[in-house]
Structure 1
Amino acid sequence: AESDKRQSNSYDILSDTKWLEEAATRLPESFQKSVPENAQKLIFWCLEWSPMKRPSAEDLISTGLIPRKIELEQRYLEEALQTIANHESESHRQILKALFERPVPRHVEVTFDTDVAAKARNIYEIS
């Protein structure tokens, strides 16, 4: 019965505009503009005064307010690609530095282009 009561209360924050009113009075405008509505709903839902109105872990997962891992990974990939495409950004330089300043293992360095060299040698031997 307790979980049923909690479950029925859990949808209040999702269906009404209470969280919008709370956001307007309690959060800076810049925060409201920069943080997705889903995150704002979660914040106010988790900060409910009454513990019975706060979400359980199951509530949080079942509402769809929390993005799935694959959605997050896709968003981060898109953001990284946009960053790499912007040659003027500091992040662009940091990403390229991280990619190309990694130490090359000795076995990779020694065997690099050996297949190309072998093919070139075969071409010269055939001619």
Structure 2
Amino acid sequence: MNSIIYFNTAIFLFLAGLHFYWMTGGRWGIEAAVPATSDHNLVFNPGKWGTLVVALGLVAFAAITFAHNFHFEIDVPHYLRYVIAFIFLIRTIGDFRYIGIFRKINNTLFARYDRQYYVPLCGYLAVSEFFLAAY
């Protein structure tokens, strides 16, 4: 059980660090991180504030995962664990066009990475966070 907690916390912190890196102007991996149309135009252009919100959310997910399971003296409602699991379940399923299992656009760099890495990672996080919340 503890290994899942440590692993998920590390994943959240790594992803938060990557988003902080992008927010400060880093370019590594950004081409594969944003969904694109079939003619390779970006679906959206994430700004610094949006990237910051995602990074801080991931830090919060790490803190909730770690603290809740080790019973730190912070007042985190138990249902937040289910919220985290649900967020990653929705991300795994996707928007039925550009992201997730049921995406229709499959000929972009993002779609390839989504299929190979992002969907399995989000699916793992959804299942494991649900498991940790129910434990």
Q: TM-score higher than 0.5 here?
A: no
| TM-score w.r.t. length of structure 1 | 0.27
Larger relative contact order (C-alpha < 8 A, sep ≥ 6)?
Answer: 2
Q: Which one has a bigger Cα radius of gyration?
A: 1
Give me the TM-score of the superposition, normalised by structure 2. 0.26
